[in-house]
Amino acid sequence: MSQITIKSPKPCGSQQRLKIERNYKKLFYALSAFFTSILLLLLLIWLILHPAKPQFSLKEVDIYQLNLSGPNLNSSIQLTLLSKNPNQKVGIYYDEFQVYATYKGQQITGDTPVPPFYQGQDETNLLTASLLGNSLPVAPSLGYELAHDQTLGRLVLILKVNGKLRWKVGTWVSGHYRFNVNCFSIIGFGPSMPPGPLASKQGAQCSTTI
């Protein structure tokens, strides 16, 4: 007599679960491939366009007040800054823009914010800011430095900008990048000066780091 073996069928529930798991894996791989392609495309666009740093130059600086009162300094400075986006295909969002002045390594004004703005491709903007310092504590040596520079007939200010920007390529906008700008201004400061503010109208190129 021959023996007949009958295999019991697998439960339908197990087969259904395996099918669902396979579908989820296919969907996961498809989505992973899609997002990887998008990221590679954005990276390729970024590498091709690779935006150049914005350019800044100092157009005018006017010092209305620079007085020492004991260990404190009062200052009032007006400046005009030229900002240029040299990129032909990349725009720039300036989301944070703070300006202040330093003298002999000491900050002599408070941080003055410039309202956020967008700068299109190959666009140039004139920015003005009023920098004020009210009773700012400074080192005792600052009085000597001012007297020495008055004897020399000139003083050197460094105008600084700190902020955050974003690049815009088409409809894509990057994350935030911090940037810093340093501008040097040489201003006449002799013992006998005409009335009015101390002024420098000599344009000066600024250095920018990102």
Q: Determine which helix (DSSP H) or strand (DSSP E) holds 18, and give its type and residue range.
A: helix 12-49
Please state the φ and ψ torsions of residue 63, each to the nearest 5 degrees.
-100, 115
- What pLDDT shows up at residue 29? 78
- CA-nearest of 62, 58, 148, 68 to 108 is 68
What's the count of helices (H) and strands (E) in the chain, helices before strands?
2, 13
Q: What is the DSSP letter of 192?
A: S
Condensed to tens digits (0 to 9), the pLDDT of residues 7-25 reads 555 555 566 666 666 777 7
* pLDDT value at 40 more than 80: no
pTM: 0.76
| Share above pLDDT 90 across residues of the chain, in percent, rounded to a whole number | 47
Residue 200 has pLDDT above 60, yes or no: yes
Instruction: Indicate left, alpha or beta for 5 from its phi (over 0: left) and psi (-120 to 50: alpha).
Output: beta
Q: Is the predicted pLDDT of residue 77 greater than 80, yes or no?
A: yes
Q: What is the pLDDT of residue 190?
A: 72
Q: In the 3-class helix/strand/coil scheme, how is 123-150 assigned residue by residue?
A: CEEEEEEEEEEEEEECCCHHHHHHHHHH
Q: Which residue has the higher pLDDT, 157 or 46?
A: 157
Cβ-proximal residues to 80 (8 Å cutoff; 6+ apart), any chain: 58, 59, 60, 61, 126, 127, 128
Mean pLDDT of 124-141: 92
pLDDT at 47 over 60: no
Query: Token digits for 209?
Result: 């780091």
Q: How confident is the model at residue 164 (pLDDT cuts 50, 70, 90)?
A: very high
Specify whether domain 55-209 bears CATH 2.60.40.
Answer: yes
Please give the structure tokens belonging to residue 17. 């679960």
The pLDDT of residue 141? 87
Q: What is the pLDDT of residue 11?
A: 55
Task: Encode pLDDT of 80-98 as tens digits.
Answer: 999 999 999 899 999 999 9
Alpha carbon distance 185, 187 (integer Å):
6
pLDDT category, 133, cuts 50, 70, 90?
A: very high
Phi-psi region of 150 (alpha: psi -120 to 50; beta: other; left: phi over 0): alpha
pLDDT-derived band of residue 167, with 50, 70 and 90 as boundaries? very high
pLDDT at 134: 92
